[in-house]
Structure 1
Amino acid sequence: MASTTRRRSSAADRRAALEKRILSVIEECLRGGVTYTELSVEQIAQAAGISRSTFYLYFRDKVDVLLRLSGSLKTESYAIAAAWRPTGPDGGVDGLARTYELTLRHYREHAALLAAINEVAAYDPLVREAWTADQDRFIDNLVTVLKEEQRAGRTPADIDPELAAKVMIQGGGQVIAQQVSNSDGSDDTVVARELARGYWYGVYRRPGSPTVD
């Protein structure tokens, strides 16, 4: 049993190391102007220093690679988002702004991969569905946070947590994607601050609706 466990652990370590190497290779190729659609398995394998047969030991095809890499990208960004709480040690509007800034920095570091995901998601349903499913995890986390704030009386009870979370995640995600794609990053702090203020004062601490007699 111990031997089997060690073999599984070793295989997982090799896969993780290979994924990291392939991510680096793919991002380098994409930064060079090659689209993910144009990038071949042969090019990826050669640049990563492995054979095609080794590539197929770990991945079904290019889409499988992209699914793995997009999962890792979202896992890291989810950790950033989930670490923030409105009344936590780094809470409040300033803490939320820092969270958005960290998220922007994270995606900017992997801008080429993000562009590849958006490129392939436009025509591949597997990539599109996986990216959307990952987004649902962010929405579920935010719904939980908003409900906690409502129970504590800090967020107005008339806000629909599910709808508000969907608008915030999808809307904020579009702003972040556009910012990473179209800006050199010099105004990331400003964009992060405006996102934070909009959602903090528009949702988390929105004034309650007046009672109509």
Structure 2
Amino acid sequence: MSTRADRRVQLAERLRVAVTALLDEGESYAAISIERLMAEAGLSRSTFYAYFTDKGDLLREWSVRATEDTRQAAARWWGLDTELTREALTAALLHVMREYRPHARVMASVYDAAGYDSELRDEVASIMREHVGSLEEHIRRGQVEGWVAPDLLPHETAAWLIWMAERVEHQVIARSGDGDLDQLVVGFADVVWNTLYALAPAAR
């Protein structure tokens, strides 16, 4: 039998699908009542409260799942090193964006809600610190090994790239089709390649 934690994860995923459909119709997460959300998912209101305290709690659960999926996908980028090529970078970034895209609409709601929910604000800050820190570590390692441009400021460069990617993910990629996604990632790969790797001693 599944544990309560497993059931919470399963319910959160079912509700993610339901709320994404409502967001696609132009509704905002803040305006969607729990009753409306549960009706869209074909579930009772009491089921919601059996696992979540409020809509902010549900957002935090979605955030945990999205962060874990993104962390695993991003490891493919962070793992690129002396064998790095433009093609390998593009493939790694496409993998990251494909893994993140199912979460993009609800994560946009997480970031919006962070403006008035202190717990979500702390959660978003923690997520972004982790992503910036991982890219900063990648940059520093690359500078030592010669495949990242040596004159870059690691933390500041990582912060610009990660926050830029966050905006594009939530404002553009969330609404893109597969073909559009491919082109968007090619553009992002161009930015990353020319920022980090093109002027490195080992650039290829």
Pairing 1:130-141 to 2, within 5 Å after superposition? 130-141=123-134
- Specify whether residues 34 and 176 from structure 1 end up closer, same or farther in structure 2 by C-alpha distance, changes over 3 A only: closer
How many residue pairs get matched?
200
1:67-95 CA distance string (max 9 Å, x none): 11122122212221122223377x42222
114-123 or 69-78, larger mean C-alpha shift: 114-123
Tell me the amino acid that sits aligned with residue 152 of structure 1: E
Q: Hey, what's the Cα distance between the residues in 1 that align with 2:172 and 2:96?
A: 11
Q: Would you say 1:203 and 2:200 are equivalent positions?
A: no
The amino acid that maps onto 2:184 is V
With over 3 angstroms needed to count, the CA separation of the structure-2 counterparts of 1:53 and 1:86, relative to structure 1, is same
| Per-residue deviation, 1:61 | 0.3
Name stretches of at least 5 consecutive residues in structure 1 with no aligned partner: 1-5, 209-213
Structure 2 gaps, min length 5: none
Q: TM-score, normalised by structure 2?
A: 0.81
User: Structure 2 CA distance, aligned partners of 1:178 and 1:22?
Assistant: 21
Q: Percent identity?
A: 28
1:40 to 33, 50, 54: 33
Q: Residue 152 in 1 paired to residue 152 in 2?
A: no
Please say if residues 34 and 55 of structure 2, whose CA atoms lie closer than 8 Å, have aligned partners that are also in contact. Answer: yes
Contact kept? 1:94, 1:193, Cα under 8 Å: no
CA distance in 2, matches of 1:190, 1:47: 33
TM-score of the two chains, using structure 1 as the length reference = 0.78
Structure-2 separation of matches of 1:155 and 1:10: 46
How big is the shift at 1:50?
3.8
Residue 188 (structure 1) aligned with residue 176 (structure 2): no
1:18 and 2:11 matched: yes
* Structure 2 residue 148 is the aligned partner of structure 1 residue 168: no
Once the 2 structures are TM-superposed, how far is the Cα of residue 66 of structure 1 from its aligned partner? 0.9
